[in-house]
Structure 1
């Protein structure tokens, strides 16, 4: 399997995070998702998504979802309801029931040109609390989305730079707070630009949306005590029945480095959580930034023992890279997944918890 060579994320110089190389949209056409086996734009109707997501674009056909690979208990292909392509989006930009949101990492990128009609959400202020280390509050997120015209039946399409890394974070926050129609543009901003599609410098007018964020879904977020329980069980040779996936690069996972060069968020210890397997987030995308086919995605994670038969917890360094894997595993493959957004900067700074350090570094010294 080749390592994607798409542009690096803002969290690391390399897309793997390893610098060493190491709505219902009933009034809209169904998303055309041919790459993942949905022929001619036909999609699975009314599939109940993980975390209660209602199917998007169910009017597109009644073709059955592809069967899962052998040994996997999950048979649905959720991609038809959670991923749209550039062709579908271009045809639906004027649909009042579709809201397009850019979540990019490069400062000023949105202002220099964005998908026409798209609203700009800044991940460091719009999706997180600016006072506490936490996600944005329910009240503040309700206010934000109403200002940008989000209604309960709005189909939200998120996209961004760096292979949709922070667009996936936005999808997690929307889903965490109970929005039912959340999708991601396949290939993100890079795919739109590569096809020569139009960009605009005009920001949309403020909206008057009516959607209200629900209480955060506890089934989508893991906290430190749960992760410590998994780690201690793994350390003692037992199991809690949960798969733990570290999506950082190999050098971070082994403890060779604390964090990618140039980034200040780090921990006093290097390594990974006991029991974790390592599948870098960028393994899920092709060189053009689009998601790999469903069957290939299943194989990538199944090779590390993650096949959907057990609940999954994903983590990275500060939580955002892991949202991309959360999206792949839960929203495309339909697995039961929590995001541990405290991630390594919380766990690696916690006193009295077990750490695996394959590189033999202690306090940064080999």
Structure 2
């Protein structure tokens, strides 16, 4: 998927000397897609006109709530940004810096951070299981949502929130920034295996593509990527040899879920948006994109805000589009043909 710095394996970006070898400017990547921000909510919140934004009832918190509660001893604020030096230039007071391409992944095996690595990170950040964690970042919270997905696999679900509107909204409202790195006492977060229930694998999506499993695949890339007109957005390395999409998948670009300021749209609008594509929560959903980061944003919206059963396929098109002998739909008739 287009963007930001993923681990050495995913794609390169200016912030990381990346594996594929090209360094992409985070700002340029942000411009490749639409603006966006993620959210989360339980079934009760889903019935409301808009997601609840506070520290207890929702996975979303507002900028007002965060500034009011910024000194809470049981709160940890974590920035997961992509643009080089953005954290160092100024961040939300008390925020810790987490690099998604090193802290949240295993850089050699192209995997999420393993149990030992994640526990070490949580301990360094002073996070216990009852700590409220607010994640935010630049570029519409893409990798903050990725962080929420990784945290959720280690059991940190209801206590992990996203800042609605992310860094963009905080700065637009001229709220305070700081350049100091906070110091906290280390926690004793336990080493536990990652849950497998929130992550889809290649075999899962292939079973859906072959109609062996009754699930939905939501491809949240741009229409041109979905149709096969392009393999990757302009300026982003083409890490797949074919263009197109997984058979049976539907296309709802992630940015359709957000307002111009990056905040999440009202819940009923979200339900209608996805229902028009045949996704209404009645069947499990697998979200997919190019490298898994944009799709983690849509996973957050579907699973946390709308309460739908959803998993994220972080292998996404860079894995599926390179696989040998699998079915592909290419509506544009490019590269390997129209089927």
For the criterion TM > 0.5, the same-fold answer is yes
2 CA distance for matches of 1:290 and 1:158? Answer: 14
C-alpha displacement of 1:206: 4.6
* 1:265-324 CA distance string (max 9 Å, x none): 521000000000000011111000000011111110001000001100000001111000
Q: Are 2:108 and 1:137 aligned?
A: no
Q: Are 2:324 and 1:351 aligned?
A: yes
Which of residues 75, 85, 108 is equivalent to 1:108? 85
Contact 2:126–2:187 (CA under 8 A) maintained in structure 1: yes
Aligned-residue CA RMSD (Å): 2.3
2 CA distance for matches of 1:142 and 1:337? Answer: 25
Which of residues 130, 138, 151 is equivalent to 1:174? 151
Contact 2:32–2:234 (CA under 8 A) maintained in structure 1: no
Counterparts of 1:190-339 in structure 2, within 5 Å, are: 190-233=168-211, 240-339=213-312
Give 5+ residue unaligned stretches, structure 1: 1-7, 18-35, 37-43, 50-63, 70-75, 234-238
Give 5+ residue unaligned stretches, structure 2: 1-25
SS in 2 for 1:307: coil
C-alpha displacement of 1:83: 0.4
2 CA distance for matches of 1:117 and 1:12? Answer: 25
2 CA distance for matches of 1:167 and 1:113? Answer: 17
Identify which range, 122-131 or 204-213, moves more after superposition.
204-213
Q: Which residue of 2 aligns with 1:121?
A: 98
Contact 2:146–2:297 (CA under 8 A) maintained in structure 1: yes
2 CA distance for matches of 1:158 and 1:13? Answer: 22
Structure-2 change in CA distance of 1:188 and 1:283 (3 Å): same
Contact 2:47–2:267 (CA under 8 A) maintained in structure 1: no
1 CA distance for matches of 2:28 and 2:59? Answer: 24
* 1:128-175 CA distance string (max 9 Å, x none): 111111111111010011011111110010000111111100000000
2 CA distance for matches of 1:363 and 1:12? Answer: 29
Contact 1:138–1:215 (CA under 8 A) maintained in structure 2: yes
C-alpha displacement of 1:77: 6.5
C-alpha displacement of 1:11: 4.6
Higher Rg: 1
Q: Which residue of 2 aligns with 1:188?
A: 166
SS in 2 for 1:329: helix
